[in-house]
Structure 1
Amino acid sequence: MTVNKHDKRDIALDRTEELKQRIESYLEAAKSIPTGFKMEEEYQARKKELLQFFGATEENWQDWHWQMRNRISDVGMLRKLWSLTEEEAEQIESVSEKFRWAVSPYYLSLMEPGNPGCPVRMQGIPSIRELQDNWGKLDPMAEEYTSPAPRITRRYADRLIINVTNQCAMFCRHCQRRRSIGEVDKPAPVEEIKAAIDYIRQNPEVRDVLITGGDPLTLSDEWLDWILSELDKIEHVEIKRIGSRTPVTMPQRITPELCAMLESHHPLYLNTHFNHPREVTQEALRATRMLAKAGISLGNQAVLLKGINNDPHVMKKLNHELLKIHVRPYYIFHAKPVKGTTHFVTTVQEGLEIMENLRGYTSGLAIPWYIINAPGGAGKTPLLPQYLLTMGKDYVMIRTWEGKVFRCANGNI
């Protein structure tokens, strides 16, 4: 049957209306999802209050060393800044006796002080639920059993991790390495870093090295430059990666000097860790834009966290905001059952529902992999909704993002 041009246009217009209806729920929900860009005025007001409290200037605020020195890390100081109830203060104090915490002034300024359910506050301020965890483990990834040399974690054939410090601009409440935080900030000893680099040098199958911690960008430019330079000298190391949350928790760390240094070590990638659209701010944009201009490829490794981002609309909005600041959504990690953090753990079904609401509903650039780490350090395993239904010798049955089922040829038949 021949379809004329007018009828084809009508079919296309009908399809357009159908597509619009499929995205209506997200468009309506997105109006009420707070983002860092929307909250800029509130951020500036809280920033002003913090500057007055510390007797500081804008120049101080933009100095990452000042941000590190003035981290809020005890309930006494927090009470001077926020109106906490006695119960809230006592609970924070109780948690701090077991689990260390610290928040940069910048990251504190993104929080709603009077809202315990604020998705930024939940990531930075201790909760009594950390002490009510009966099933979490200190090291569910068995990193202590996958360390063939000092500071090395190795789970895969061609790549590994160097853990260079336990320092962070903020100690996330869902941190997978909270067992390593300790009581004081402590960069790895020089001899241990040298031993790690020697191990890489002696294993020619290692082509990809991830520098992590803690947060490696809390190290000085000079020390990080030395580590990268040593890796540059190893012929079989093809790429280097840095894992850092400073673009989220302390974007002032990203300076022209840092970017110039990093640019001298290509090919270099940086994966960061935004978990909620509120964290995507103008300050974060300035940091990521500098990194992008230096040729640093940026990816995001979000963690699926109950009460923070376990909502399809929130996760989609986060991914859209990330693309606006040059950051490619890379992974959504299913939260690990780390001791003191399991109140954040969701069901796998929630993660799959999020993936169902991304594929087909937004561009591929905004769709990360949903990953669960197999227990005991057995590695990352991607989880996907079921799109392949059955397979025969000459056909496959597939389900589309809309739930429509099609039979497709399997090979050239």
Structure 2
Amino acid sequence: MPDGSLPARPLRDADALAGAGLVPPGDLPALRAVAARYAVSVTPAMAALIDPADPADPIAAQYLPHPSELDATAQELADPIADGPHTPVKGVVHRYPDRALLKPLLACPVYCRFCFRREQVGPAGGVLDEAELEAALDWFAANPGVREAILTGGDPLMLSPRRLAHIVRRLSAMPHIGIIRLHSRVPVADPGRVTAALAEALDTETALFLCLHANHAREFTDAARAALRRLSRAGVALLGQSVLLRGVNDTAEAMEALLRTMLANRVKPYYLHQLDRAPGTARFEVPIAEGRALLASLRGRLTGLAWPTYALDLPEGQGKAPIGPDFAERAEGGWRVRGPLGGEHFQADAAP
């Protein structure tokens, strides 16, 4: 923030952002038009990290609206990973045979400018009412082939601890559910929400993982680190997911810092997503070839613990495909393998 002060509450429109000194007043007409189409919310924690004097600030790029968001391309889709066709009941998305998404709400603490659900999420929340939530949970109970329940949305940590605990208890009581996973921005974007009551709501004998969404090392503030430590102490296993974003983490230095910072906070990097082509997000896209080269440059510089799966979520609900760099290629009689520290090795096929 320009004067070092924190806003008292999230900034939810272009005028509030201008009043906080985060966007130029001259940009207001264009940004109001963007905010009328796509939800805006910048939490005090994230506002404090933005340097409005830096036009390339990686935190600002993620959260502040931009006029280009109204310029959709022919390649962009309103539902780029096809949630809609794979929704058997409201709040459930079932693409893979052994796992399904549960979306209890569509509200988030912040609204990322590259979000692939940007046409659905917003302050209205899209919260499942009691009957809808029970119907969604009943669907999980009635489908024994589904072994993993993935809470997403929206951000499931925006739920009250009471409601979150109810969902965790219901899922944990289903004998076929062996894994509960939650995807959330809250620990970095709004760390004050990670209270003792929220951590307690996640207490279960079922394997439970929280997948933290963070894209830049600066998001790991002291408050975020404390929130993650509270979750870790409560027995929550922490994973990390990021989106490869132009101007945010598309350099080897920025990506290395992000992955190292995740590990330092007991967060195991899990996925690095190629950008989903949602409307108005083209300014963030990094070509796949560039993403592969970036990851290849880090192999050998970083522990294998820091290595995420670089993946593209295919349109029409066809699932996530790994697209990471290759270090081996087939050759006559064996495999030619490049070493991450330099050199090459020919591995002959095993004798029959």
Structure 2 length normalisation: TM-score?
0.95
Shift of 1:411: 2.4
Change (3 A) 1:91 1:272: same
Residue 355 of structure 1 corresponds to 295
Residue 102 of structure 1 corresponds to 41
1:198 is aligned to 2:138: yes
Matches of 1:371 and 1:142, distance apart in 2: 16
1:319 is aligned to 2:275: no
Percent identity over paired residues: 31
Change (3 A) 1:165 1:175: same
Gaps of 5+ in 1: 1-41, 55-69
1:336 is aligned to 2:276: yes
Q: Deviations over 1:137-174 (max 9, x none)?
A: 11011110111222111111101100110111111111
Residue 18 of structure 2 corresponds to 79
Gaps of 5+ in 2: none
Matches of 2:239 and 2:196, distance apart in 1: 20
Matches of 2:339 and 2:235, distance apart in 1: 36
Residue 238 of structure 2 corresponds to 298
Q: Count how many residue pairs are aligned between Structure 1 and Structure 2.
A: 351
Deviates more, 1:355-364 or 1:177-186: 177-186
- Computing the radius of gyration from Cα coordinates, the structure with the larger value is 1
Question: Do the aligned residues in 2 keep the contact of 1:163 with 1:211 (CA within 8 Å)?
Answer: yes
Deviates more, 1:397-406 or 1:273-282: 397-406
Matches of 1:391 and 1:161, distance apart in 2: 41
Q: CA RMSD in A?
A: 1.8
Residue 6 of structure 2 corresponds to 50
Which amino acid in 2 is paired with 1:129?
S
Question: Do the aligned residues in 2 keep the contact of 1:133 with 1:343 (CA within 8 Å)?
Answer: no
Q: Deviations over 1:337-389 (max 9, x none)?
A: 00122221110011101210121121001111100111211001111222222
Matches of 1:244 and 1:142, distance apart in 2: 20
Shift of 1:122: 0.9
Question: Do the aligned residues in 2 keep the contact of 1:228 with 1:265 (CA within 8 Å)?
Answer: no
Which amino acid in 2 is paired with 1:410?
D
Deviates more, 1:245-254 or 1:398-407: 398-407
Matches of 1:349 and 1:116, distance apart in 2: 26
Q: How does 1:262-273 map to 2 (within 5 A)?
A: 262-273=202-213
Shift of 1:84: 4.1
Paired residue secondary structure (1:310): coil
1:124 is aligned to 2:63: yes
Shift of 1:233: 1.3
Paired residue secondary structure (1:263): coil
Residue 404 of structure 1 corresponds to 343
Residue 326 of structure 2 corresponds to 386
1:219 is aligned to 2:175: no
Which amino acid in 2 is paired with 1:96?
A
Which amino acid in 1 is paired with 2:278?
V
Matches of 2:73 and 2:95, distance apart in 1: 28
Shift of 1:83: 6.5
Matches of 2:183 and 2:267, distance apart in 1: 13
Shift of 1:263: 2.1
